[in-house]
A and B are shown apart, each in its own frame.
Chain A
Amino acid sequence: MILLEPNSYVLEETLLARFNSEKPEVVDITLVDFDNVIYHVQTSAEQRTLLNLSVEMKYFNEVCAYGAKSILQREYGDYLVPVANSQYQITLQFNLEQLPADKAGLAKHVSMLKRNVLASPFIRAFEYWESQQEGAGPLMATHYRENEAIYVQAQQDRVTVIFSTLFQEEVDRVLGKVFLQEFVDARRQAAIQNAPQVFYSSREAPLEIRHLPGLRQDESVGYVSFVLFPRHFADAEVREKTISQIQLFRDYLHYHIKCAKAYMHSRMRTRVKEFLKVINRAKPDRTTAASEKRTASGRYFRPQFRQSSATSPQQVEGEW
């Protein structure tokens, strides 16, 4: 599968198993999602029929400023607990006896939690564009990972999304450059001429964010800008799809870099096996005819290997 899914599949499966189980059992499961989001599924201490889902999202405060709380209220209002558990930012509580009929749908909806929360800066940017105000909108930054961030800014006729991504290793850097160059060049193809425009710079930040303090601008950092045109977010359905896709860009890129490295590794291993075969041809081996020499009475000759000191071939009792 080339594309990553926007929902958390493991969370969906876990919740569905809990919803569908006959007897509410005590559970305490910790799950991880992309971008350091941790889910904690736990049966409530007071009542066994209450299931708590706590989410730890370090960047929740930033996203609240862009309206994440109202999105949460709208999507999961029935289950939202006003004050989250300690060290977690969001808590949902499910009563296992009072679930709606469509349990699978609910599980899927909940697994989109991270996607919906991170959608808030995008939705705000699109709303700004819809309001057709003059000039550029506010620059919204979300530091969703350590040392990496997404910047979203709306303008009158487009929305710009800038990713800053960190490449830890030299190999990643070179591979990343190859992949990102292809992203930039992909528009030349007729089929995807309508796709967003992509720009890439390997050290310097793009003009829109250069004024921000604390920007990393060294060799290991890359900046990728997407220019989204109205056709990508004017229509509601297309808008949702765009948001889901664009959030996952950084993870998608790094996932494919790792896949490319794994593929090269397996190719090299095959090649090494081939080389080993060639060098083993250089070693004179005992031919099968020689090792099966036998006398008339049925005994075998077993010749010694050349390098050891014993020279006389041994005689072995063969099967009659």
Chain B
Amino acid sequence: MSNTLRPYLSAVRSSLTAALCLENFASQIVEKHNVPEVEAGNTKEVLLKPLIVSRNENEQVLIEGSINSVRVSIRIKQADDIERILAHKFTRFLMMRAENFVILRRVPIKGYDISFLVTNFHTEQMYKHKLVDFIIEFMEEVDKEISEMKLSLNARARIVAETYLSQFV
């Protein structure tokens, strides 16, 4: 199934690079305020059409753009109970440290597992291609990490059971 991974990631990468063309936009509603328009959603004319890149129905990326901010939401593949719990724990772990990550949103969008919010201030302060790199690498790493944790959990369970039962023999 990994033959769909490369085109999926390259599609996300090019969509993100296109969406991340941001410029400063002062709020039209309140004077002297500067608000990420994709979060506020009040000024309809500066919001772009949301775009979904999906690999299959379980893995999707939603990109909502606007003139000064972009919201990227990712749905991670969760095949069974264990993966669901691992993905939930992992994303919660990351979201609690959202301050360190700067572009991470503390709460994901409904229907997705984790969300990023990139504003024009971020693109001014950081390299744009590196930001896109981070998001793509994140998507790859999360899948890898979850399957590794599941494997190590199964291996651990096997060793625990063996050690216990071999005491009786």
Asked whether any CB of chain B lies closer than 8 Å to the CB of A206, the reply is: no
Known A-B contacts A179-B157, A276-B101, A279-B102; the reply to A196 vs B127 at CB < 8 A is no
Q: Are A306 and B125 in contact (CB under 8 A)?
A: yes
Asked whether any CB of chain B lies closer than 8 Å to the CB of A178, the reply is: yes
Known A-B contacts A182-B160, A275-B101; the reply to A195 vs B93 at CB < 8 A is no
Asked whether any CB of chain A lies closer than 8 Å to the CB of B141, the reply is: yes
Interface members, chain B 83-140 (any A CB < 8 Å) = 85-86, 89-90, 93-94, 97, 100-103, 125-127, 130-131, 133-134, 137-138
Asked whether any CB of chain B lies closer than 8 Å to the CB of A260, the reply is: yes
Q: Are B100 and A276 in contact (CB under 8 A)?
A: yes
Chain B CB within 10 Å, residue with most, of A178, A182, A252, A281: A182
Which B residue's beta carbon lies closest to that of A3? B163
Q: Are A183 and B154 in contact (CB under 8 A)?
A: no
A276: chain B residues within 8 A (beta carbon): 100-101
Asked whether any CB of chain B lies closer than 8 Å to the CB of A215, the reply is: no
Interface residues on A, range: 35 or more
Q: Are B89 and A268 in contact (CB under 8 A)?
A: yes
Asked whether any CB of chain B lies closer than 8 Å to the CB of A278, the reply is: yes
Contact of A260 among B130, B137, B153, B161 (CB under 8 A): B153
Report the Cα distance A296→B134, complex, angstroms.
42
CB distance from B68 to the nearest CB of A (A): 16
Q: Are A2 and B163 in contact (CB under 8 A)?
A: yes
Which A residue's beta carbon lies closest to that of B157? A182
Contact of A271 among B131, B141, B157, B169 (CB under 8 A): B141
Asked whether any CB of chain B lies closer than 8 Å to the CB of A26, the reply is: no
Asked whether any CB of chain A lies closer than 8 Å to the CB of B156, the reply is: yes
Contact of A232 among B149, B162, B164, B168 (CB under 8 A): B168
CB distance from A283 to the nearest CB of B (A): 5
Contact of B168 among A242, A256, A264, A279 (CB under 8 A): A242
Known A-B contacts A279-B103, A282-B134, A283-B125; the reply to A174 vs B82 at CB < 8 A is yes
Contact of A174 among B81, B125, B141, B167 (CB under 8 A): B81
CB distance from A115 to the nearest CB of B (A): 15
B166: chain A residues within 8 A (beta carbon): 191-192, 195
B137: chain A residues within 8 A (beta carbon): 278
Asked whether any CB of chain B lies closer than 8 Å to the CB of A189, the reply is: yes
Which A residue's beta carbon lies closest to that of B128? A282
Known A-B contacts A272-B93, A279-B101, A282-B126; the reply to A171 vs B85 at CB < 8 A is yes
Report the Cα distance A189→B164, complex, angstroms.
13
B163: chain A residues within 8 A (beta carbon): 2-3
Which B residue's beta carbon lies closest to that of A186? B161
Which B residue's beta carbon lies closest to that of A271? B145
B101: chain A residues within 8 A (beta carbon): 275-276, 279
Chain A CB within 10 Å, residue with most, of B89, B93, B134, B165: B165
CB distance from A282 to the nearest CB of B (A): 4
Report the Cα distance A241→B152, complex, angstroms.
30
- Binary flags per residue of A33-49, CB closer than 8 Å to B gives 1, else 0: 00000000000000000
B138: chain A residues within 8 A (beta carbon): 275, 278
B148: chain A residues within 8 A (beta carbon): 267
CB distance from A53 to the nearest CB of B (A): 29
Asked whether any CB of chain B lies closer than 8 Å to the CB of A13, the reply is: no
- Binary flags per residue of B67-82, CB closer than 8 Å to A gives 1, else 0: 0000000000000011
Q: Are A245 and B134 in contact (CB under 8 A)?
A: no
Report the Cα distance A285→B102, complex, angstroms.
16
A275: chain B residues within 8 A (beta carbon): 94, 101, 134, 138, 141
A265: chain B residues within 8 A (beta carbon): 93
A9: chain B residues within 8 A (beta carbon): none
B145: chain A residues within 8 A (beta carbon): 267-268, 271
Asked whether any CB of chain B lies closer than 8 Å to the CB of A213, the reply is: no
Report the Cα distance A319→B90, complex, angstroms.
49
Q: Are B102 and A192 in contact (CB under 8 A)?
A: no
Report the Cα distance A171→B163, complex, angstroms.
23
Q: What 7 A-B pairs come out closest when comparing CB atoms? A: A282-B130, A195-B165, A182-B157, A282-B126, A182-B161, A186-B161, A183-B161
13 A–B contacts from the bound complex (CB under 8 Å) = A177-B81, A178-B82, A179-B160, A194-B168, A194-B169, A195-B169, A252-B160, A256-B156, A260-B153, A267-B148, A275-B101, A275-B141, A278-B133
User: A174-B81, A183-B165 are known contacts; what are 12 more A-B pairs with Cβ within 8 Å?
Assistant: A174-B85, A182-B157, A186-B158, A194-B169, A260-B156, A267-B145, A268-B90, A279-B101, A279-B102, A281-B134, A282-B131, A283-B126
